[in-house]
């Protein structure tokens, strides 16, 4: 019996990709195995850890529970698409400067989840940050430096916005 395939087209990190995929293929596997974007990690396959978080049409989703066919026509951003003009995104910079990572396994998912949070709320309180990342688990840190990293990025993004507005 021949495998059933479906044609999908997704824009991932600004590049449009069309592929034939099995209807059961998870988005996380499409990103990692078809596009070689291995920054999106597989942690649990049950939506509990958030290591697979990407932005789909600007919304953080856990790609281990999204079928690639469900993402047909969508715009996806992965950790590989966060850098701007060869410079780390303020969230990436914040995780580096504030030591918001230990083993680093959860970091891509945390950054993608925080990106959605800061897009919706550019000046979150500590409690809002903690609530905003509550669906992503870190088994190594106590979250203190992750929160500091997101606060750092929020400041940098607000400063950038103020500089742009005054130009």
Report the SS3 class of residue 4. coil
pLDDT at 165: 86
pLDDT at 142: 84
pLDDT at 141: 85
Dist. CA 128–CA 58, nearest whole Å:
19
Tens digit of pLDDT at every position of the chain (167 positions)? 778 999 999 999 999 999 999 999 999 999 999 999 999 999 987 889 999 999 999 999 999 999 999 999 999 999 999 998 999 999 999 999 999 999 999 999 999 999 999 999 999 999 999 999 999 999 988 899 999 999 999 999 999 988 888 87
Domains of the chain: 6-81 (3.10.20.30), 90-162 (1.10.150.120)
Report the SS3 class of residue 8. strand
- C-alpha dist (Å) from residue 108 to 4, 16, 43, 96: 32, 22, 12, 12
Contact present, 77 and 59 (Cβ < 8 Å): no
pLDDT at 146: 97
pLDDT at 46: 84
- Report residue 24: phi and psi, to 5°: -90, 0
Note the pTM of the prediction, 2 decimals.
Answer: 0.94
pLDDT at 163: 86
Q: Where are the beta strands (DSSP E) in 57-139?
A: 59-62, 75-77
Dist. CA 77–CA 99, nearest whole Å:
24
- Residue bearing tokens 């850098």: 83
């Amino acid at each position: 019996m021949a495998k059933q395939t479906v044609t999908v087209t997704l824009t991932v990190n600004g590049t449009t990709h069309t592929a034939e995929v099995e209807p059961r293929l998870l988005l996380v596997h499409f990103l990692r195995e078809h596009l070689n974007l291995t920054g999106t990690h597989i942690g649990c396959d049950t939506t509990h850890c958030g290591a697979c978080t990407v932005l789909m049409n600007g919304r953080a989703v856990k790609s281990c529970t999204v079928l690639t066919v469900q993402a047909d026509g969508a715009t996806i951003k992965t950790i590989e698409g966060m850098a701007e003009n060869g410079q780390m995104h303020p969230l990436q910079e914040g995780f580096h400067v504030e030591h918001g990572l230990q083993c680093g396994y959860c970091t891509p998912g945390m950054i993608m989840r925080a990106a959605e949070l800061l897009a919706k709320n550019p000046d979150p309180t500590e409690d809002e940050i903690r609530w905003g990342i509550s669906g992503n688990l870190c088994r190594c840190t106590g979250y203190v430096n992750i929160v500091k990293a997101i606060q750092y990025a929020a400041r940098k993004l607000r400063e950038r916005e103020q500089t742009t507005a005054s130009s």
